[in-house]
Amino acid sequence: MTTPLKHGPPTAIEPQPSFDGVDLQALAARLGTPLYAYSASAIRQRIGELQAALAGLDATLCYAVKANSNRAILALMAAAGLGADIVSAGELQRALAAGIPPDRIVFSGVGKTDEEIGAALAAGIARFNVESLDELHAIERVAQARQAMARAAVRINPDVDALTHAKISTGRAENKFGVSIAEARRWFAERRQLQHVQLDGLHVHIGSQILDLTPFRLALHRVAAFWRELEQAGHPVASIDVGGGLGVRYRAGHDTPVAAADYAQVIREALAGFGGRLLLEPGRYLVAEAGVLLTRVLRIKEGTERRFLVLDAAMNDLQRPSLYDAWHDIVPVASTEGPAATYDIVGPVCETGDTFARARVLPECRPGDLLAIQGTGAYGASMASTYNSRPLAAEVLLDHGRYAVIRRRQTLEEMVAGEQSAQDWATP
């Protein structure tokens, strides 16, 4: 038996008819859906807020490329004087191609290959954030073969609970990232044995989407104590990378992000007296709220217990709800005065996990209605796939009433371009 449609009073949800001065209905009509749209103005504003908060400090912002690696976004970062935090050779190439200077690039990640280390050395990046003793030896070996000198920072795992989702928490002892302070202490004690690695930095990153200053404060005070210990032992520390992790508002009336000025004050207090360079790795904070995913309603399906709003966007376009049970506000683009209805909002992919929201209240929808999934500028398109042979969505950059396509919609021919029949057989 199908559950009857329950009408409620009009919702208080604010529609989003435009973004950065661009009419979203007209944009979707011209370019189709699903469609990622990013506001250049919003990104510049966030960059400016963080730069203002850090005024007077010797600090370099290294944008976390993984958040959104589109070259047009990276070019915005380069134009604002930012560096890059990378985790692969592909991100290195993207950053360099977008105009980010190599001496503003830091290389993080637990699984750097010899080839990636070599490429980073050849490019002349600022430093490596080293995650294990084996990696430190690998950098020494590759640098020796190239007769190069690598600069490195040890990533400290301070065993601090970031109070965030378990899958994006990176600073606990059980996480795969970084090493204990005890192990880092041994690295510095033996650093003079390294002939091609200059170990003179510290790095900490405890997780993402952090909405409380307490974890930052605790982690940085532990790093600061270790920095002072090292200095007293005769091991100079030239840089401290405080990571990223600043949270954003995904859910109106629920998420309260940390103010940039308050975050900067925690850094100032914890690292007071430090004379070297500070590095920061903002990613989500700069781009998440600057993006929306435009999607149309395909149909309304009446289940026996749930009412499903089926969209043309799917989990392959935006994985966060499926992967992290993440909340994204979803609003109509057009203004409506209709009654409210409750929907499970889903995509067409053949997975139960292809669900954007459960029991979400919206103005009553009809097929063809345009919706905006908000807060999708970070870890949206950068995590997308072609699962179910669905082409990658187009991306556009908006800027004061104008737009530019920064990635065209993938065609089926482009999707299968690297595939071929098994004709040329060989043995290894």
Please list the active-site residues.
Answer: 350
Give Cβ neighbours of residue 18 (< 8 Å, ≥ 6 apart). Answer: 24
Helix (H/G/I), strand (E/B), else coil: 52:
helix
CB half-sphere exposure, 305, CA atoms < 13 A: 1
Whose CA is closest to 126, among 67, 82, 76? Answer: 82
Partnered with residue 279 across adjacent β-strands are 60, 241
Amino acid making up residue 161:
D
- In angstroms, the CA 75 to CA 95 distance is 8
Contact 297, 365 (CB under 8 A): yes
Whose CA is closest to 397, among 68, 47, 63? Answer: 68
Partnered with residue 395 across adjacent β-strands are 36, 407
Whose CA is closest to 272, among 234, 223, 316? Answer: 223
C-alpha distances (whole Å) from 11 to each of 60, 146, 379 are 44, 64, 29
Contact 318, 384 (CB under 8 A): yes
Using alpha carbons only, give the angle 380, 207, 182 rounded to the nearest 5 degrees: 145
